[in-house]
A and B are shown apart, each in its own frame.
Chain A
């Protein structure tokens, strides 16, 4: 792992890496995600964030895998970053300070998975109604259920 420029710059940040079907991904310690993203943007030319999502690996712990899709226009290269957060305290720092594009994607992950993004400027539900209970994309959330009816205030 020592050849990895991210590991050299931020020791202890990279906890694993993999390549599958020619697509590279790095596993990052969740405490250092913002630092790693800022480094990759400034020094790695990853000027774009294509999206942020999550995968629920219920019942394994740490349960939620937050996935960041990075894209370098200059080098025509893509990279995935993955962070694991536990179900007890599903929290991670927001990367909106690095790429403003993360704003809605993080809101979506918060809305559908219940992962809280610290320092997010506007962390509200984006897809579901504001008074919705539960997080639909979690694996323990049933696909079918009672019909939702909108209420006046």
Chain B
């Protein structure tokens, strides 16, 4: 070893700042899709962070304008593909508000129950992938075990595992299947003990705590100013949940709590979401026990498709079916902004009608869009390794960001 390699630090000009720009993504495993984080580094410390989005832009908002109102429901599934039913719900509620039609109680409760199962599903995917990002492989397998049960329930209801389109304008797409009570009951009775299992793996795990406590901190004021919503804002101490503050689809009839923490770090967000799993299970249980009897779609023949039986026996039903399928239904001119609490935060649909059968404009406010905007506040001045934890804690879905 006669020739020593020159020491790089000494040969370069020491006074000049040695900054490096690092592209994390669009293909980085922790970006769960196609997100590019641009990090400016000083050694291992992030001095400046930014996100480049748009890789998954599919022009869904434009597509809405070319479709009939009822056809739009199938587009909503594809926006936030981890919580299709909550997207369905938000869009349907907006159009129903424009149409001013009343939804029967059973349909409302069924919507609540399935929305909460969707929330559990989405949180399970988050918990599994987020913990895998941070090195805890086995949690993923446990979470996906329960997720599979939920997807089977969705398949039972709608015939689809993921792109369910089960909520339609005016109610539900199909009559609830025979035996759904047993299927949901079996799942929901076992589920709280499953949450205990995840907690056993993580909550007091020293490695998990070292990787998440104090990481990704941002002040509540910063988070609000950057448009962050949902579990992230609740982990910063703000007790705000749209299911409580602006109840929709009879959420006011259910008894549940809004979990909050004040630490505003990755661990607090984990705690909030795990607690939300338990609260969602509570809501599903209440919906299962107290499910009202009655119709599962509204009495609005010009909007809601008639029963198949009636179509074969009644002339009027056949005409309505033909009219709705071929021409759609006219929606009174006006505009409505409907918000719901998605697993990620505030989801809003702004539907503008010009009085025809196709929406004039649909704007989709996805919660992930706002949550990602707050990311630089959580990672600047921290280490690169912590950026993965902070990014995972935002629980973003890029279909929801790019639309």
Contacts and interface: CB of A to CB of B under 8 A. Distances in A.
Interface stretch (B9-17, B115-123, B359-367): B359-367
Contact of A101 (B100, B227, B337): B227
Contact of A23 (B337, B373, B402): B337
B350 A21 contact: no
Interface residues of B, number: 37
A100 B361 contact: no
7 closest A-B pairs (Cβ-Cβ)? A101-B227, A53-B363, A127-B57, A127-B54, A51-B365, A20-B334, A55-B361
Contacts of B161: none
Interface string B227-247: 100000000001010000110
Interface of B: 53-54, 57, 59, 61-63, 65-66, 97-98, 100, 224-227, 238, 240, 245-246, 334-337, 339, 346, 348, 350, 352, 360-361, 363, 365, 369-370, 373, 402
A55 B54 CA distance: 21
Given A101-B370, A127-B57, 20 more contacts: A20-B334, A20-B335, A20-B336, A48-B224, A50-B339, A50-B346, A51-B350, A51-B363, A56-B361, A78-B339, A101-B227, A101-B373, A126-B53, A126-B54, A127-B402, A128-B57, A136-B62, A137-B62, A141-B62, A143-B66
A70 to B, nearest CB: 11
A99 interface: yes
A103 B373 contact: yes
Interface string A96-134: 000111011100000010000000000001111000000
A24 to B, nearest CB: 11
Majority-rule SS of B interface residues: mixed
A112 B227 CA distance: 21
A47 interface: yes
A39 interface: no
A128 B227 contact: no
A49 B183 CA distance: 41
A21 B57 contact: no
Contacts, number: 80
B55 to A, nearest CB: 9
A123 to B, nearest CB: 14
B225 A99 contact: yes
B94 to A, nearest CB: 10
A105 B370 CA distance: 9
A58 to B, nearest CB: 11
A76 interface: yes
Nearest to B58: A127
A98 B61 CA distance: 27
B336 A23 contact: yes
A53 B350 contact: yes
A30 B2 CA distance: 73
A71 B339 CA distance: 11
Contacts of A104: 53, 369, 373
B246 A76 contact: yes
17 contacts: A23-B336, A48-B227, A51-B227, A51-B365, A53-B350, A56-B361, A67-B363, A73-B238, A78-B337, A99-B227, A100-B227, A101-B225, A127-B402, A136-B59, A136-B62, A137-B61, A143-B66
B227 A50 contact: yes
Interface in A61-107: 67, 69, 73, 76, 78, 80, 99-101, 103-105
Chain A interface residue count: which class?
Answer: 20 to 34
A51 B369 CA distance: 10
B225 A100 contact: yes
Given A20-B336, A48-B224, A127-B54, A143 B361 contact: no
B180 to A, nearest CB: 33
A129 B30 CA distance: 23
Contacts of A126: 53-54
Given A51-B365, A99-B225, A127-B53, A69 B336 contact: no
Nearest to A112: B61
Contacts of B238: 73
B245 A76 contact: yes
A49 B227 contact: yes
A51 B373 contact: no
B113 to A, nearest CB: 26
B374 to A, nearest CB: 8
A73 B350 contact: no
B118 to A, nearest CB: 22
B360 to A, nearest CB: 7
A118 B350 CA distance: 25
A103 B61 CA distance: 20
Contacts of B350: 51, 53, 67, 69
A89 B41 CA distance: 40
Nearest to B245: A76
A80 B62 contact: no
Contacts of B360: 55
B189 to A, nearest CB: 35
A20 B97 CA distance: 10
Contact of A143 (B63, B225, B352, B373): B63
A50 B365 contact: yes
Given A56-B361, A78-B337, A101 B226 contact: yes
